Each structure stands twice: as structure tokens, then as C-alpha cells.
Chain A
Amino acid sequence: MGETVAAVVLLAALAVLAAGAAAFDASLAAGRVAIGDPLREAARLLVTQRRRTLLPDAPLRRIGVSGLPLVAVLAAAVLPMGEHAVADLPVGVVWFNGMEVGVWGALWLIGWSVNSVYPLVGGYRFLAQGLAYELPHMFALISAALGAGSLRVADVVAAQRGLWFAVWMPVAFAVYLISALAMAFWGPMNQAVGPDVAGGVPAELSGPDRLVFQAGRYTLLTVASAAAVPLFLGGGAGPALPPWSWTLVKTVAVLALLVWAGHRLPTIRMDRFMAATWLVLIPAVLLQILVVGIVVL
């Protein structure tokens, strides 16, 4: 019973936050307050007829399109909203990681299944990006888990009672934020959906399919931001307000930062990003793990 309520609350919170991110994104893009634009766009897409490409692989497309929001929501299940998560797994950090790599599958499936060049290019680009961001991302998650001595997200939160991990693991936190952008193919890591390939992966999606894809992308960005809160920003800890509201405030802050950064930073080419992650981020975050390991010992 309690879990069902928590799941409904989680879904509602994700929907509101993702819609808020879309509204903020639209406002930044338009240079004016454009809160209604995403809703109008959603309504338009709902009534738009599907455009069909020649010989698409429809089952794979359906799996890919529905998989994107699905993995985002499943990844969010281990994140505590206030005090409790929907599923407080003993290895929640690994679960989060496991669900979030599902994005690789979703994007490649969409890119492949519509039988069109640009989406395919986008799909392959995301796999290359995945190879670039995944290792630093995993090491950033491991830093937080190592600092807490546990893979349970609630324990990671509890370990930050004295000092937030973001404060004494700044490298891991920065790497996490970069990988969060890459995970949601957002801002500087948007080559998979870049304008240079006519929109990339979702280029041939139309109507409800495109709506689900866009909603999935904003949800993914929301979940990536929300995960930074229990992992690095002390979870629901804070003065005066109850834990759920602190979780919400911090999530909104990270989400707003990521959306804003998406409009301020230029796109990084995949091969350059690969060099940067493997030659700079991985050694940096390994040193961070060493420091954390010594402190914990």
C-alpha cells in the first residue's frame, strides 16, 4: 500500500519536474517566458498522424521509444524522496547504473528501427558517447558508494550528515554532472540528436512517438539531476524544512543548472569528448577515489 502511494508520488513528481524542465528549456530557447509552449507542443504531437518511413522495424521502434521513459522511471525508483525510496534496494547504486545504461539500447533501437540515415548516425553517435561517459560515471558513483561504505542509496545519504559528498569529493561531483548531461544527451553532449544530423535519433519520429521520446528525454534529465541529490548533496538534509521539500529544492536547482548549461555550452564532438573523458576525467576520478579511500580508511 505504502509502496503504491510512493510510486504514484514519484511518477507525479517526475512528470511535474520534467514538464518544468521542458518549460524552462523552451523559455531559454525563445528568450521569453514560454511556459505554455511544451504543453501546446505535446497537444499538437498527440493529434499528429504518424509518419511512416519505408520498411521500418516497428517492434524494435516501439521497444526503443517506450524504453526511454521506462528506464528513466525505473532508475528513479531507488532515489529517496525525502526519507524513503519506492524501492530501497541494498545495491541501489548498481540498480541506478543498470537502468540508466538501458538508454543506450533505447537510442540505438530507435536510430536503427526507423530505417533512415540520420537517426542511425545519431544512434551510433550515442554508443560512442556511451563509451566515453560511462566509465567516469561509474567511478563517480563508486566514489559516493565508497565514501558511505555501502551501495544502498539511503546509506549514502546517511553518510553525508556531517558534510556533503559534493564538498569533499568535488571531482566526483563534477564528473557526475558531466556524465548526467551525457546520459541525457543534453547540451554539450547532444550530438546524438544534434542539428548537424537533422535532429539525429528522433528525426523520423512523429506524433505520439515523438512526444514519448521528448518526455523520456526530459524525464531522464530530471532523474539524472535527482540522483545527484542523494549521492552528493546530502539528500533531504537541511534546516527548517522537511526532507521531501529539501530533496525537491535541490533537485530543481541541479535540474535548472543542467538545462541552463545546455544553452550556454557548445556541442563537443564525440571523438574529442572521448579523448577528454579517457585522458582527463578517468584519471581525475580515480585519484578522487584514492583520496576517498584514504579518508575512509
Chain B
Amino acid sequence: MTAQVVAFWTLAAVAVASGVAVFVTGSMARATFALLASLLAAGLTFLLIDLQYLSFLIIVMMVMEMLIMAVYMVMYMMNPAGLMPMTMVHNRRGAVLIASAVFVLLAVGVLLTPWPARRGAPPPDPTRQLGLSVMGPRMLVMIVIGVAILATMVAAIVLATDRGRYDRSGDEHDRWGRAT
């Protein structure tokens, strides 16, 4: 139990500290990876409640997502290459006010919510139990929706790249080399 508590507070401290680092660092790349570290620490806390599957899934998704985010974060920066020091904070006074208000709201919510007491014991296979609770009787619907979303993604990529400028064999030629 104590090891679990120590691990929880360590991960919580890492998550918050790297969250703070996002806003004090002067480089978009460092901000991105500080945010990634924060999210990974949050993902690892799932190990403490035996949800290994969710934990590793969060790691997979967050690493991939933050790396793609890095591309966009750098792309939309005011100094494009991001090689000059920059600040991640704008509108300081407003930001402090909004952030404090949101923090107080969430903290009050946490303290005032009547959390339910634990009923029963953890199942022997939490991954399976999780799958059943999430999908359960809607398994078929979820699978169909999943395939539909994937098909939409593939179709969107196809439509987006159809006339890409690198898809042609040269000026006035299409991608198959025919004159246009």
C-alpha cells in the first residue's frame, strides 16, 4: 500500500512539475516534450489500479499524438523554426485570473463531490472487465463505428492527397506520367 502511495505522489508531482515546465520553458520543442512527460506520468498512474492495458495504451497514444502535435506547434509558431527563445505565456494578468478561477472551481468540486465508497473487489482480469464495461452489449455497434471512422480517415487522406504537388511526374503531367 505504501509503495503505491509513494508511486502515486511521485507521478503526480512529476505530472504537475512537467506541466509547469511547459509554460516556463523558452522552446516549443521543450514545451512539447514537457507536456508529453506530464501525460506519460498521468498514464503511468493507471498501473497503480492494475489497468495495464489502459496505461500502455495512453503511453502509445500520447507519444504518437504529441509528436504529431510537435509538428503543428512548431508550424504555427510566431518564429517559424522555433530556434529563438520565446515565451509560452501571453496576457499574463488574464491568464493568472482565469487559471486561478478554474483551479479553485475544480478543487472545490473535488472536495465537495460525495465520492462513492468502493464496492466489491478488482476483477481477476481488469482488461477484460474494462472491455466488457465499455463495449458490453454495444460491441457490434462499436466495431461498425470503428471501421466506419477508419474508412472515413482513409477516404479523407485519399481526397486530400489526390492532387498533391508531389504526386505528379512533372509540370503538366499527372501522377501516372500522362500529359494534362
Contact = CB atoms under 8 A, between A and B. Distances in A.
Interface of A: 55, 57, 59-60, 63, 89-91, 94-95, 97-98, 101-102, 104-105, 108-109, 112-113, 115, 124, 127, 130-131, 134, 151, 269, 271, 274-275, 278-279, 282-283, 286
B137 to A, nearest CB: 18
Contacts of A127: 67-68, 70-71
Contact of A271 (B68, B83, B127, B161): B161
A71 to B, nearest CB: 9
Contacts of A115: 83
Given A91-B127, A131-B68, 13 more contacts: A59-B30, A89-B52, A90-B52, A90-B125, A95-B56, A101-B60, A104-B67, A124-B71, A127-B68, A134-B64, A269-B166, A283-B154, A286-B147
B52 A98 contact: no
Contacts of A279: 154, 158
Say whether chain A's binding surface is mostly helix, strand, loop, or mixed: helix
B28 to A, nearest CB: 9
Given A134-B64, A271-B166, A282-B154, A57 B52 contact: no
Contacts of A112: 29
Given A105-B67, A282-B150, A94 B60 contact: yes
B103 interface: no
A109 B33 contact: yes
Contacts of B60: 94, 97-98, 101
Contact of B53 (A60, A94, A134, A283): A94
A271 B167 contact: yes
B12 interface: no
Given A57-B27, A91-B127, A279-B158, A98 B63 contact: yes
A295 B88 CA distance: 53
A131 B64 CA distance: 9
B154 A278 contact: yes
> 5 shortest A-B CB distances, which residue pairs?
A94-B56, A98-B59, A98-B56, A98-B60, A104-B67
Contacts of A274: 157, 161
A105 B36 contact: yes
Contacts of A109: 29, 33
A91 B29 contact: no
Contacts of A105: 33, 36, 63, 66-67
Contacts of B66: 105
Contacts of A271: 161, 164, 166-167
Nearest to B154: A278
Nearest to B59: A98
Nearest to B71: A127
19 contacts: A60-B33, A90-B125, A90-B127, A91-B52, A94-B57, A98-B60, A98-B63, A101-B64, A104-B63, A105-B63, A105-B66, A108-B70, A109-B33, A127-B67, A127-B68, A127-B71, A134-B64, A151-B53, A282-B150
A102 B154 contact: no
